[in-house]
Amino acid sequence: MNDPIHPARQIPFPDLIAGLKRAQGLGHVHRRPNATSTLQLYIYTPRCVYEDGWDQFSLIARGLIVDEGAGRVVATPFPKFFNVGERHGEVPDLPFETFEKLDGSLIIVFNDAGRWHAATKGAFDSEQALWAQARLDAHDLSSLSPDTTYLFEAVYPENSKRLADGVRPEVPRHKRLELGYRPAL
């Protein structure tokens, strides 16, 4: 497998948590505990966005799920990305493909304690996470790899972030190349 290792899995766990807590102290990251487990979700804050307070920890706090008690990273969604012109640097002159932008909700699918779970980048129990969880529970997921974080875009009419009336429910999976961070060994 040629998939890259997610940045959160490249940092020693105690350093990762210390960095996230430092960013939390600056008001750049929120920590959201799961009400039904020992998992915590880290998400960057509007303050971080407006203050341009990005560092290596706030950039990976985009729905990052950890179990601090067990000392492990559980789910690794996309790090924060920026539109052209928002950050320093140039657009690389490389071949590219374009796709229609579906404006839904990022769904983070991960396995914990032998069970598949869904979350959004900001919550374990949002309307969109519960919608996705119901769909996970209704399907055979035995072909999924428990060591992989799967990322989807939930696009359905009732979603408050929907495109427009009449959008049919769909959950397109982001390209494997983009989502397939392999676990650190």
Phi, psi of 50 (to 5 degrees): -70, -30
Rounded mean pLDDT, 87-107: 80
Q: In this structure, what is the dihedral angle of CA atoms 106, 119, 62, 78, given to the nearest 10 degrees?
A: -60
* Global confidence as pTM: 0.81
Whole-number pLDDT of residue 176: 34
Which tokens belong to 25?
A: 């102290």
Tokens of 86: 């928002």
pLDDT for 154: 84
Distance CA 126, CA 105 (A): 10
pLDDT interval class at 91 (50, 70, 90): confident
- Write out the DSSP string of 39-77: -EEEEE-HHHHHHT---HHHHH-EEEEEETTTTEEEE--
Top-confidence residue, 78 or 151: 151
pLDDT of 166 higher than 80? no
Is 89 or 181 the better-scoring residue by pLDDT? 89
How far out from the chain centre does Cα 4 lie?
16
Cβ(62)–Cβ(20) below 8 Å: no
d(CA 77, CA 69): 21
